[in-house]
Structure 1
Amino acid sequence: MPLSPSADREPIHTRRITCRGYRRADGLWDVEGQLTDVKTYDFQTEECGLREPGDPIHEMWVRLTLDDDFIVRGVEAVTDKSPYLSCGVVTSKFQSLVGLTIRSGWTRAVKERLGGPQACTHLVELLGPIATTAFQTIYPVLAREQADRARQDRAAGRTAPPRRGRPALLNMCHIFASDGPVTRDLWPEHYTGPVDAPAAEAAE
């Protein structure tokens, strides 16, 4: 359902964020985000001169390279357009993300390393959509492959390998809360909610 009809208005500013996820030939994953800001009127920047309508005031990119466990193995950040010539000098600071894991606490960890005057607000903002895109990119593929292997193991009479450690999605949002029904069904070993009485009695 779309938003309700608005009052009469004129467009002023548009921010676009586009994220894409890729599986690499070397087994890693690339997730890239692009941010652009454009206005509908001439805009005079402090150091870079006039920007005409539709000409981006900001055009920035971030690429995270991740492994199957959502650990950041590589980072690239680029500022193509900005209102100040020195905006792009902080892109190297994004290397501080290498080694972090995208999971619960990701936003806090990013702010500790890149918050406030330590980096660029707009590039940091990109890391939120990139993180959710990483889950949309990686998790369904790995889950499908794991299910395929389990079916093959059952068909061949092999014992399924033990589950991997803590799921990366656990407690990332209310759907994957540790005490919620999705966690109970997908990862019962990590479920922390109330135990259904009939089920508990059946297990005794």
Structure 2
Amino acid sequence: MPLPPSQPRKHLHTRHVECHGFEREDGLFDIEGRMTDIKTYDIDNQDRGGQIKAGEPIHNMSIRLTMDLDFNIHGVEAVIDDSPFNICPSIASRLKMLEGKQIKPGWNRMLKELFAGSQGCTHLTELLGPIATTAFQATGTARRKREGNSSRPAAAGRLINSCHALSQSSEVVQRFWPDSYQPETGDSER
């Protein structure tokens, strides 16, 4: 169902985030993400020849994480093709600090610690969030095959209570992980 109609308005900005997951021939996985920010009007910008024209990306950046099925990061590539300041692309190589790290609970906290303030790029750090969820989605089938069950969703432990649909009292948990299901015991809709 689409959003309900809005009040009359003027389109100003589009942020586009796109992520892709690839299985490599060597058994590793490449997870790639790209983010663009585009205005519908010209903006003044000294570092880009005086102006960034409407429709030209203010930000255009990409990241590739190479990882295994345990979410261990083996390689990182990051590029900033368009930015509002000439200095921006020089921070991209700092993401190499992720090599040897693992996507796991606490991922966002770790990113904030590694790339806080002047030690990183806000936009590249933001892009790593959807890249991590894409990694989880892209490797699901391979992880289930490794666990010997290609039809059942991933192990319950890390999923139970991670969202509304996966509440320990939901019909989804009752269907897929009956051992983890716990019916509601009281009136929680007050």
Alignment of 1:33 onto 2:33: yes
Structure 1 residues 187 and 64: CA distance shift in structure 2, 3 A: farther
**What is the rounded CA distance, in whole Å, between the counterparts of 1:118 and 1:130 in structure 2?**
20
Q: What amino acid is the match of 2:19?
A: C
**What is the rounded CA distance, in whole Å, between the counterparts of 2:16 and 2:178 in structure 1?**
36
Aligned length: 178
**What is the rounded CA distance, in whole Å, between the counterparts of 2:156 and 2:72 in structure 1?**
13
**What is the rounded CA distance, in whole Å, between the counterparts of 1:114 and 1:120 in structure 2?**
7
Shift of 1:94: 0.6
Q: What amino acid is the match of 2:37?
A: D
Structure 1 residues 21 and 172: CA distance shift in structure 2, 3 A: farther
**What is the rounded CA distance, in whole Å, between the counterparts of 1:187 and 1:110 in structure 2?**
35
Aligned residue for 1:11, secondary structure, equals: coil
> 1:93-122 CA deviation, whole Å, 9 max, x = no partner?
111111222121111111111122210000
Structure 1 residues 47 and 172: CA distance shift in structure 2, 3 A: farther
Aligned residue for 1:147, secondary structure, equals: coil
**What is the rounded CA distance, in whole Å, between the counterparts of 2:10 and 2:57 in structure 1?**
19
Q: What TM-score does the superposition give when structure 1 sets the normalisation length? A: 0.75
Aligned-residue CA RMSD (Å): 3.0
**What is the rounded CA distance, in whole Å, between the counterparts of 1:59 and 1:175 in structure 2?**
34
Aligned residue for 2:149, secondary structure, equals: helix
**What is the rounded CA distance, in whole Å, between the counterparts of 2:76 and 2:83 in structure 1?**
20
Task: List, as ranges, runs of 4+ consecutive aligned residues in structure 1 with deviation greater than 3 Å.
Answer: 166-172, 175-188
Q: What TM-score does the superposition give when structure 2 sets the normalisation length? A: 0.80
Alignment of 1:173 onto 2:162: yes
**What is the rounded CA distance, in whole Å, between the counterparts of 2:73 and 2:111 in structure 1?**
12
**What is the rounded CA distance, in whole Å, between the counterparts of 1:123 and 1:168 in structure 2?**
30
Structure 1 residues 175 and 103: CA distance shift in structure 2, 3 A: farther
Aligned partner (choices 146, 149, 159) of residue 147 of structure 1: 149
Q: Which has the larger helix fraction?
A: 1
Aligned residue for 1:4, secondary structure, equals: coil
**What is the rounded CA distance, in whole Å, between the counterparts of 1:63 and 1:100 in structure 2?**
14
**What is the rounded CA distance, in whole Å, between the counterparts of 1:172 and 1:131 in structure 2?**
19
